[in-house]
Amino acid sequence: MTAAWSHDPELKVQHLTMRFGGLTAIGDLSFDAGRKQITALIGPNGAGKTTVFNCITGFYKPTEGLIVHRHPGGQEFLLERMDDFRITRHSKVARTFQNIRLFGGMTVLENLMVAQHNVLMAASNWTVGGLFGSPRYRHKEAEAIERCKHWLNKTGLIDRADDPAADLPYGAQRRLEIARAMCTEPRLLCLDEPAAGLNPRESDELNKLLLSIRDEENVAILLIEHDMSVVMGISDHIVVLDYGRKISDGTPAEIKADPAVIRAYLGVDDEQEAPAAVQADIAKSIAEPPPPPLTIAKNARKPVIAKKRPEPVKHKGGRK
């Protein structure tokens, strides 16, 4: 396989396995994430996507496997053996969280300043220079504020800069979390469901923001998302997980056509595969989401659990 993302990948995940006691959350997962590409990680609820993220960002130590973050200069970081905060600091991987984790009692601007902690800490000579107001620190602080302003402008939060983060509406909090992650100046940005809870207009804005991060800041993005309008709209590469295993890997067009993906999402019974016509129909419904954004994802696990229920057939009847 010589896909575009495998030539010079930003991130190589090889044979990643994560077991919690007897439960194998991820089993032998390998994929590459290309440089300056948006790679989406999708799959039904409980497929292990967030666990992959936690392994990449060091919050979990994987049971087996290798995670290599390759900088363009040829420097390589073995993320599976680094502490979580060192991964962000040295290897330049930033992340956001599925349940937003902002510093709610601090203002929007302060949130972004905290993200530049390491740069500012060094500039303040580990606080000593800062205490006496050294010119170098003041200069760096002004620079940091400029960077905050840049990201506040980009995320449309500049007017709320002095408000507490917890006061922002939900969509703005999501954007602030992305801005905060970007203020650490990452090379790889991991976003855990950035579009969750956004309305169609907001998720459209999110798409633009992510594309500009990819194209203008040259940052690779790894994305977990259920909102297919986001995933299909902006991804360069999609990796599909189910039950902790990779079931498909390819461009959005390839993924849309892959029967394994359709099976995982819509729970077609393994033994009695639906006729080809049905599959095409379902594939169409994934490819062209109806006006209210398609959220097959959220409860997609249900049909899989209730495998014997002939739901797809009913669905088909409705369509015709």
Partner 1 sequence: MAATAKDTAFKAESRNLSPQEIARDLIGTAIITLLLLIPIVFYRTVMNQGTLLLQTRLPLVLGLTAAVVVGRLLLHLFVWQRAPEAGRASTASATRTDWRETVGKWIGPAMLVAAIFLPWIVQFIPGWERRGLGIAIYIMSYIMLAWGLNIVVGLAGLLDLGYVAFYAVGAYTYALLTTVYMPLWFGEGIVPWTFYIVLPLAGLLAALWGVILGFPVLRLRGDYLAIVTLAFGEIIRLVLINWFWFTKGPQGINVPKATFFGLPFADEPGSFSDFFGIPYNRLHFFFFLYYVILGLALLTYAMTNRLRRLPIGRAWEALREDEIACRALGINTTSTKLTAFAIGAMFGGFSGSFFAARQGFVSPESFVYIESALILAIVVLGGLGSQLGIVFAAILIMGSFELFRELGFLQAILPEGVEPIQFRMLCVGLGMVLMMRFRPRGLVTRRDPTVYLKEKKAVSADLVSQGHG
Q: Return residues touching partner 1 (CB under 8 A).
A: 57, 59, 84-89, 94-95, 97, 101-107, 109-110, 113-118, 120-121, 124, 127, 130-131, 145, 149, 158, 161-164, 166-167, 180-181, 184
Q: Which two tokens stand for residue 240?
A: 């599909």
Q: Which is nearer to partner 1, 5 or 60 (CB)?
A: 60
Residues linked to residue 17 through DSSP beta bridges, in sequence order: 64
User: How many Cα atoms within 13 Å fall on the side-chain side of residue 220?
Assistant: 24
Residue 154 CB, shortest distance to partner 1, in Å, is 15
Instruction: Tell me the backbone φ, ψ of residue 200, rounded to 5 degrees.
Output: -55, -40
Shortest distance, position 227 Cβ to partner 1, whole Å: 23
Running DSSP on this structure, what letter comes out for residue 91? Answer: I
Of 105 and 291, CB closest to partner 1: 105
- d(CA 148, CA 142) in angstroms, rounded, equals 10
Q: Would the CA dihedral through 128, 131, 133, 138 be positive or negative?
A: positive
Minimum separation from the CB atom of position 62 to partner 1 (A): 17
Please tell me the distance from the alpha carbon of residue 90 to that of residue 119, in angstroms, as a whole number: 11
Which CB atom, from 162 or from 216, has the smaller least distance to partner 1? 162
Residue 36 or 89: which CB sits closer to partner 1? Answer: 89
Residue closer to partner 1 (CB basis): 120 or 287? 120
Count CA atoms within 13 Å of residue 207 on its CB side: 16
Residue 165 near residue 107 (C-beta atoms within 8 A): yes
Q: How far is the CB of 311 from partner 1 (least distance, A)?
A: 39
Q: Closest distance between partner 1 and the C-beta of residue 209, in Å? A: 19
